[in-house]
Chain A
Amino acid sequence: MAEEVVLLNFWPSIFGMRTMIALEEKGVKYEYREEDVINNKSLMLLEMNPIHKKIPVLIHNGKPVCESIIQVQYIDEVWSDKNPFLPTDPYQRAQALFWADFIEKKLCVCGRRAWTTKGEELEATNKEFLELLKILQSELGDKPYFGGAKFGFVDIIMIGFYCWFPAYDKFGNFSIESECCKLMAWGKRCMERESVAKSLPDPEKVVGYVLQLK
């Protein structure tokens, strides 16, 4: 039976990028549907994610999977024959899930605050953002990828930020390249992968999107 895979997404979303990369890495054909999340969410989105009404939503043979980290794990488990994202060892898996959770609970939350605060609070947020990136850079160490020699789960969860870095730089008035050059090198390395290059929008387009919001 042919698989039917649909992704409801909004193009600047770091979360949607994770799911797109995961599908591309597994060679899964899918239908991309752009959602107007600001003005007019589709009936399909509201039906498939009634609890949160958010993108991305992965719809596999009519059944929805919500929350990007959960989607990436799901994709890894369903199309398990190719390119595993998570290691098989339980301890290594726990480490990967820990860092995915760190990115979600700390970096994403801080990142969001950068767009909704100003003055002193913004200064503090920007400082925290750079500190969090440095913690991640320290975890990366000398490895080519967070997953070690191979592109894996944590790389997929983190890489969407790379196309947002110029926007953060511009509005945060700092330079992520100067503060975290190893992390930038990691980003460039990931961008060489077809799955990533196909799934991340042009950073200039992201800057334009933020300008429009502000």
Chain B
Amino acid sequence: MADEVILLDFWPSPFGVRARIALREKGVEFEYREENLRNKSPLLLQMNPVHKKIPVLIHNGKPVCESMNVVQYIDEAWSDKNPFLPSDPYQRAQARFWVHFIDTKLYEPADKIWSTKGEEQETAKKEYIKALKVLESELGDKPYFGGDNFGFVDIAMTGYYSWFEASEKCGNFSIEPECPTLMASAKRCLQRESVVNSLHDPEEIVAFAFKIRKIYCV
């Protein structure tokens, strides 16, 4: 039976990007549906009644919500190819730990960099760089967080990599001098076919960031 895979998403979303990349890494054919977050579709509200957020993966009519939950689901449902998580339980726990770190330590500062100014923005930039440095230290000499292979943590980070340029321009700072090896890994990830095909031009994300910044940042 052919799989029916639909992704409800919003093009600049760093969380939606993760789901797109995961599907493409597994070679899964899917239907991408753009959501207007100011006018959410009945399907989105029906498929994610608890949070009403994207991304939502709908696989043969059944919804999976929360981006890294979606990524793990994709890894397990299409387990024959390109595993994202290692098979060893300790390594898996480490990967999950770093994804948890990324989602708890990067989210708020990244958000405040585009949505605030002055001292609040400065504090956010410092926190963001501090968290990125911890991640860079974990990356070490490895090409990817997954080691030699692009994996679960890299997929999580690529959402944020896709917003690096937008964050830098909104915050008027540069990440590379602070985290050169992380940037090298970011560039490597951003060049992967699954990622290139999942992302809009960085200039478009920058333009979007400035557009919403005008709304939030009076």
- Between A and B, how many residue pairs show CB distances below 8 Å? 53
Task: Give Cα distance in the complex from A70 to B92, angstroms.
Answer: 9
- List the one stretch of B21-29, B62-70, B154-162, B194-202 in contact with chain A: B62-70
Residue of A nearest to B48 (CB): A98
Say whether B134 faces chain A, with CB atoms less than 8 Å apart: yes
In the complex, which residues 140-178 of chain B have their Cβ closer than 8 Å to any Cβ of chain A?
Answer: none
Say whether B216 faces chain A, with CB atoms less than 8 Å apart: no
Say whether B213 faces chain A, with CB atoms less than 8 Å apart: no
In the complex, which residues 46-93 of chain B have their Cβ closer than 8 Å to any Cβ of chain A?
Answer: 50, 59, 62, 64-66, 69-70, 72-73, 76-77, 89-90, 92-93
Chain A residue contacts of B64, Cβ below 8 A: 91, 94, 98
A74 touches B73 (CB 8 A): no
- List the one stretch of B4-12, B95-103, B109-117, B121-129 in contact with chain A: B95-103
Pick the contact of B72: A70, A71, A77, A97 (CB < 8 A). A97
With A74-B89, A74-B92 as contacts: A98 and B66 at CB distance below 8 Å: yes
B66 touches A73 (CB 8 A): no
A70 touches B134 (CB 8 A): no
Chain B residue contacts of A74, Cβ below 8 A: 89-90, 92-93
How far does the Cβ of A8 sit from chain B's closest Cβ, in whole Å? 15
A51 touches B72 (CB 8 A): no
Task: Give Cα distance in the complex from A74 to B97, angstroms.
Answer: 11
Pick the contact of A67: B59, B70, B72, B96 (CB < 8 A). B96
How far does the Cβ of A190 sit from chain B's closest Cβ, in whole Å? 23
Say whether A127 faces chain B, with CB atoms less than 8 Å apart: no
- Mask for A82-108, Cβ within 8 A of B = 1, else 0? 000000001101100110011000000
With A65-B90, A101-B66 as contacts: A90 and B96 at CB distance below 8 Å: no
Give the interface size class of chain B.
20 to 34
Chain B residue contacts of A135, Cβ below 8 A: 50
Give the interface size class of chain A.
20 to 34
How far does the Cβ of A119 sit from chain B's closest Cβ, in whole Å? 25
Task: Give Cα distance in the complex from A159 to B85, angstroms.
Answer: 28
- Mask for A108-139, Cβ within 8 A of B = 1, else 0? 00000000000000000000000000010000
Pick the contact of B92: A51, A77, A97 (CB < 8 A). A77
Say whether A184 faces chain B, with CB atoms less than 8 Å apart: no
Pick the contact of A94: B50, B73, B97, B134 (CB < 8 A). B73
B73 touches A66 (CB 8 A): no
Say whether A41 faces chain B, with CB atoms less than 8 Å apart: no
Residue of A nearest to B96 (CB): A70
Task: Give Cα distance in the complex from A71 to B94, angstroms.
Answer: 10
Chain B residue contacts of A78, Cβ below 8 A: 89
Task: Give Cα distance in the complex from A44 to B50, angstroms.
Answer: 40
Say whether A63 faces chain B, with CB atoms less than 8 Å apart: yes
Residue of A nearest to B89 (CB): A77
Task: Give Cα distance in the complex from A101 to B92, angstroms.
Answer: 17
Chain B residue contacts of A98, Cβ below 8 A: 64-66, 69
How far does the Cβ of B168 sit from chain A's closest Cβ, in whole Å? 25
A51 touches B69 (CB 8 A): no
Interface of B with A (CB < 8 Å)?
Answer: 50, 59, 62, 64-66, 69-70, 72-73, 76-77, 89-90, 92-93, 96-97, 100-101, 134
Q: A65-B93, A93-B72 are in contact. List 14 more A-B contacts (CB 8 A).
A: A51-B101, A65-B97, A66-B97, A67-B96, A70-B97, A70-B100, A73-B92, A74-B90, A77-B89, A77-B92, A90-B76, A97-B72, A101-B69, A135-B50
Question: Could you pull out 13 A-B pairs where Cβ atoms are within 8 angstroms?
Answer: A51-B101, A65-B97, A70-B96, A71-B93, A73-B96, A74-B89, A91-B59, A93-B73, A94-B64, A94-B72, A98-B65, A101-B66, A102-B50
Q: Which 5 A-B pairs have the closest CB atoms?
A: A90-B76, A77-B89, A94-B73, A74-B93, A94-B64
